[in-house]
Structure 1
Amino acid sequence: MSINIKVQAALRQAENYPLPDLQIKALGHFGAFQSNAVIAEERWTSLHAQIILIYLVLNGAATRDELIELVWADEAVDKTSVRLRTTLKLLRQTLRPRWKINAEYICFQNGRYRIAPGVSVASDVQQFRQALAQARQTSGLASYTLCLQALSSYGGDFLAGCFNEWVLEQREQLHNDYLWAHERCASVCLAEARYPEAEHHARQSIRSDPLREQAWQILIQSLNHMGRMPEAIEAQQQLAEHLHTLLGIAPTWA
């Protein structure tokens, strides 16, 4: 049997295999994987395709009009319909494994686009949100552990470098959740007298947003407990300066 015949036979057999699982990375720079094998970056020729894919992963399904509003809200309807078809074609081609030429990861059912039934999909955003949702329902060290789990999924800003309106909204929400997770960790560590860890998490929050007064308060208390009074005083002064310069207010404890 020739090599070509063997290859063709193998490809026909592969058509009966289920689609590989999808893993999507959106916190930080975008990445997509099929059963942990990366989809090459050069295959992603459309940023709009990435946005649509992530939207479907996070929201489950979307109508044609919802996807147009998502990506081309300010453009003429006669142009956006063509662009949506083109983008969906590119997305399907990008997701299609080379050994499964008829594979369709994106389907259209009951007037809505969605990930094809039977495909297992996971994303770092979902992992982050699920861990935080559980952390909010618990307290103490259990909440701390779940927050650490969430933080391990947070690789950076949501779709860093993309300035789509929906993306910006999601980015802000996720970033605020990231800060909350650090502050919850800091608060638990302070209560447990784990002052170096409390300091670490408080500083992480402050580094991202110098106006997080709760994080500053935890930092100051942690430094005091560790006998680092000059640093605690300096932190108080820094907070007061930030609040006065940026918001024109004084700290709540002043």
Structure 2
Amino acid sequence: MDGSAGVRVGLLDGFALERCRGGVHTVVEGLPRCAQRLIAHLGLCGRPTRAAVAGELWPDVPEDHAHGSLRSALWRVQKVAPGLVEASGGALALADGVRVDVWEFKEWAQRTLDPTADVDGAMAPESALAGELLPGWYDDWVLLERERLRQLRLHALEVLAVKLARAGRHGEAVQAACAAVHAEPLRESAHRVLIRVHLAEGHAAEAVRAYCCFRDLLAQELGVAPTEAMQALMAEAGLGVRGPGRTAPH
């Protein structure tokens, strides 16, 4: 394998290593778990030192054993995907030209959250709608990044929905808002965005339906009612809706 040409690392919805030649995508097989962890770590951490990688991936063994495990992982990566990992000045990194879905997602999210960015360039890529980072992996460095990416996705989808609604692209705005709601059903800000989109499109009944679904979900799961901000949104739209539960804490 050419270490960089047409190579893509997938970390969302699970680990995957693919190469593309002539428009044909092929999954690279035969990577042991230690090699997957090394590639994933470099895909998330950029260009760490060898010592940092060894300590992060093998924290519970003596330093010399950790470095030995790192050398073994590097050898295994080189055997299956030659040139994929580059070493320079004591640091390790994925080769230039390698694509990583997390990088693509972060670039999209940053553009979307930029208040000056045009909505035409803000449409969500597949990675923005993908599942969580490396499900089933419980390393500390994965858990921290997983939560950070989850929050980034939710904020970006909400902002995208607002931008699309302002541009009059209500159907796409509803899809973005629904994606945020699906990702975190108890997140009130996502439901408020969805309701605002329905109202902007003139669909009061859809707004009421969305509110009632959220209100009932909160009552069932948490035993609370929507916050005053949510209730004020409905009141401002002239949609006084009452429901069970007590007011949620601020």
TM over 0.5, shorter chain: yes
Q: 1:145 to 1:227 in 2, by over 3 A?
A: closer
Q: Aligned partners of 1:113 and 1:194: how far apart in 2?
A: 44
Matched, 1:23 2:19: no
Residue aligning to 1:100:
none
Q: CA RMSD in A?
A: 2.9
Q: 89, 93, 100: which is aligned to 1:114?
A: 93
The question of 1:159 aligning with 2:134 is answered yes
Higher mean displacement: 229-238 or 49-58 = 229-238
C-alpha distance in 1 between matches for 2:66 and 2:3: 30
Structure 2 residue aligned with 1:252: 228
Matched, 1:131 2:108: yes
Partner of 1:66: 52
Change (3 A) 1:38 1:224: same
AA matched with 1:199: V
- Equivalent position of 1:147 in the other structure: 122
The alpha-carbon distance between structure 1 residues 204 and 79, as it changes in their structure 2 partners (threshold 3 A), is same
Is the CA contact (8 Å cut-off) linking 1:220 and 1:232 kept in structure 2? Answer: yes
- Partner Cα separation in structure 2 for residue 35 and residue 227 of structure 1: 45
The verdict on how the C-alpha distance between 1:54 and 1:146 changes in structure 2, with shifts beyond 3 A counting, is farther
Aligned residue pairs total 224
Task: Measure how far apart 1:51 and its partner are.
Answer: 2.4
Q: What is the CA-CA distance between 1:187 and the residue it aligns to?
A: 0.8
2:27 is the counterpart of 1:51 = no
Corresponding residue for residue 237 of structure 2? none
**Aligned pair in 2 of structure 1 residues 215, 63: CA closer, same or farther (>3 Å)?**
same
Partner of 1:233: 208
Q: Report the identity percentage.
A: 24
Structure 1 counterpart SS, 2:177: helix
Relative to structure 1, the CA distance from residue 250 to residue 194 in structure 2 (aligned partners, 3 Å threshold; closer, same or farther) is: same
Q: Which has the higher helix share?
A: 1
Structure 2, unaligned runs of 5 or more: 232-250
Any idea what the Cα deviations from partners look like across 1:162-194, whole Å, max 9, x if unmatched? 222212222222222222222122112332343
Measured after TM superposition, the shift of residue 137 of structure 1 is 2.4
| Equivalent residues of 1:151, 1:178 under 8 A apart | no
Quick one: distance in 2 between partners of 1:108 and 1:196? 47
Aligned letter for 2:184?
D
Question: What does 1:165-176 align with in structure 2 at a 5 Å threshold?
Answer: 165-176=140-151
Describe the shift of the 1:221–1:93 C-alpha distance in structure 2 as closer, same or farther (beyond 3 A). same
Give 2:235's aligned residue.
none
Q: How does 1:96-115 map to 2 (within 5 A)?
A: 96=82, 104-115=83-94
- The residue identity in structure 2 corresponding to 1:238 is C
Q: Distance in 2 between matches of 1:25 and 1:18?
A: 17
SS of the equivalent of 1:159 reads: coil
Larger radius of gyration: 1
Deviation at 1:78, TM superposition (A): 4.8
Instruction: Provide closer, same or farther for how the CA distance between residues 196 and 59 of structure 1 changes in structure 2, counting only shifts above 3 A.
Output: same
Spell out, residue by residue over 1:27-59, the C-alpha distance to the aligned partner (whole angstroms, 9 max, x if none). 223222345453433x1122x322221332443
Please, what TM-score do these two structures have when normalized by structure 2? 0.74
Matched position secondary structure for 1:113: strand
Q: TM-score, normalised by structure 1?
A: 0.73
